[in-house]
Structure 1
């Protein structure tokens, strides 16, 4: 029997019945901060070779990033599909296109996957990028990926590390979430975030997560973190989403707990996964950043296709 993973601290959980109550509108709605349902902005992006010194981080939409540094290019959770479900569902269609085509990407040296949900692991995109490219994923998924034709798959358990390339260290960080591709494989694979270290810089992708004690541990073990990618969307209704998705106010607390110097928001403005208007997360984030006394540019939102550089 396959191992089933779980979060090692107590938290609320919900059943299929709870899911039906949400979808059928049987529970109260959250307060709305805006009625504007516009997706994230899109800016032109022309992929380029990776810098030999320093790092360049490009948001490809949702939780997908192109991370380039020290002569290497990595993808985290690349999803180029026009929907994030096992079959086309109109309500889950992409609202803002990817900023480039897969064919326009530079040579990819490795793909990092946080977990198996369709909005983070898109088989069609991965196959187009290449089944022979090294893939690193959280525990429990490698056998399944090899069965799908991927030839170089490596698992990392929470807090495990490897030298991804000379001078570049990759570590798996804890998160609070779950995994599933079908109704029958819930939690047979784990979930995680990724910490990349190289050239004196620490980059952290928090993964898909609810708020949990792990973030203080990450700050104590790995902080300060130079640049973080932290989710702020897919949080409503709160009674249902709280265990698995942080809201913007919790995202700011994650920023503080993990001892981040700078962060960009992700997991918003691309796929309409939940009930909040798509333009609401940035409004709430700006307010939470101000209330926390942080500099306005410490934790911000960006545009799909936008890049940030660190030296």
Structure 2
């Protein structure tokens, strides 16, 4: 089986760089003094999917419940206590899910962006239902079928399909990598998801560093009504830059893709990197102010909070 790559030049880091970071012998980003506090939570109100428009609910980290036209979709659902193959204390969930899986409405399909444990959680997928249709980027289908999921559809970048009747999804490019073990790096692809229904476009970026693909997305798919854009897991910058954008780059992506509104994700739920948990929203707010963008256009949400997109 071949491997996937990003079709542009980027920084590359190997296992030696991981050791340098984890052993503390590589440069650290200067301390910011930001509070080390996880994301706030709010009581989640579970409702039926709206007939018109979308309801977008943040379930923590990169997990979302997306509802429209009587249908319920999940993106990267992770309900487990650890985003790791073993219960490592350093990767324990710091904010509980806003609901349990059995409290969710009936899920019509699940969209997965890539195979990392903080995005593809097998126990959660099995609890949702092994026969629930899965939409994935290229390369994941054989592995997921071996794990007991028979209904898996793969899409390459910029390919589209109806995930359920009336909802069309398109796999969008990003700059990242995949791996579940030390031996399967980049054997499957990574992506974001653009969802269209009722004349409204939602976009879940997936994991990505800043890259030229974001301009291509808006050129091919048009402006976006509501984005879910990552702002966390970016420090130390020398190591994380190719994989995860920082808040300033997230605002750049917000503008490049001509998002009308967006909510920040990929922060405040798991401790993946070195920055204080409360730093990403502070840096996002400062960058929005610097660029003259209203705070209610690129929002800092609470886990369990919902937004209507008409």
* TM-score bracket, shorter-length normalisation: over 0.9
Alignment match, 1:87: 86
Alignment match, 2:288: 289
Alignment match, 1:216: 215
Residues of 2 paired with 1:85 and 1:72: CA distance? 30
User: Which consecutive residues of structure 2, in runs of 5 or more, have no partner in the other structure?
Assistant: none
Contact 2:108 2:164 in 1 (8 A): no
> What whole-Å deviation, never above 9, does each CA across 1:251-288 have from its counterpart, x for those lacking one?
00111111111100000000000000000000000011
Alignment match, 1:58: 57
1:307 aligns with 2:300: no
What is the DSSP-based 3-state SS (H/G/I as helix, E as strand, rest coil) of the residue aligned with 1:73?
strand
Distance apart, 1:145 and its partner CA: 0.2
Residues of 2 paired with 1:308 and 1:71: CA distance? 16
Would you identify which runs of 4 or more consecutive aligned residues in structure 1 move more than 4 Å? none
> What whole-Å deviation, never above 9, does each CA across 1:218-260 have from its counterpart, x for those lacking one?
1111221000000000000000000000000000011111111
**TM-score, reference length from structure 1:** 0.98
Alignment match, 1:24: 23
Alignment match, 2:269: 270
Contact 1:50 1:68 in 2 (8 A): yes
> What whole-Å deviation, never above 9, does each CA across 1:46-91 have from its counterpart, x for those lacking one?
3221111110000000000000011100000000010101101101
Contact 2:109 2:164 in 1 (8 A): no
Contact 1:117 1:179 in 2 (8 A): yes
- The aligned runs of 1:161-200 (5 Å cut-off) are 161-200=160-199
Residues of 2 paired with 1:296 and 1:177: CA distance? 28
Residues of 1 paired with 2:100 and 2:164: CA distance? 26
1:160 aligns with 2:159: yes
What is the DSSP-based 3-state SS (H/G/I as helix, E as strand, rest coil) of the residue aligned with 1:276?
coil
Higher mean C-alpha deviation, range 33-42 or range 281-290: 33-42
What is the DSSP-based 3-state SS (H/G/I as helix, E as strand, rest coil) of the residue aligned with 1:302?
coil
Contact 1:46 1:100 in 2 (8 A): no
> What whole-Å deviation, never above 9, does each CA across 1:120-147 have from its counterpart, x for those lacking one?
0000000000000000001000000000
Residues of 2 paired with 1:159 and 1:50: CA distance? 27
Residues of 2 paired with 1:284 and 1:202: CA distance? 27
Residues of 1 paired with 2:166 and 2:146: CA distance? 31
Contact 2:193 2:206 in 1 (8 A): yes
Alignment match, 2:232: 233
Alignment match, 1:245: 244
User: Which consecutive residues of structure 1, in runs of 5 or more, have no partner in the other structure?
Assistant: none
State how many pairs are aligned.
310
- The aligned runs of 1:5-84 (5 Å cut-off) are 5-84=4-83
Residues of 1 paired with 2:44 and 2:34: CA distance? 29
Residues of 2 paired with 1:102 and 1:80: CA distance? 8
Query: What is the RMSD computed on CA atoms of the aligned residues?
Result: 0.8
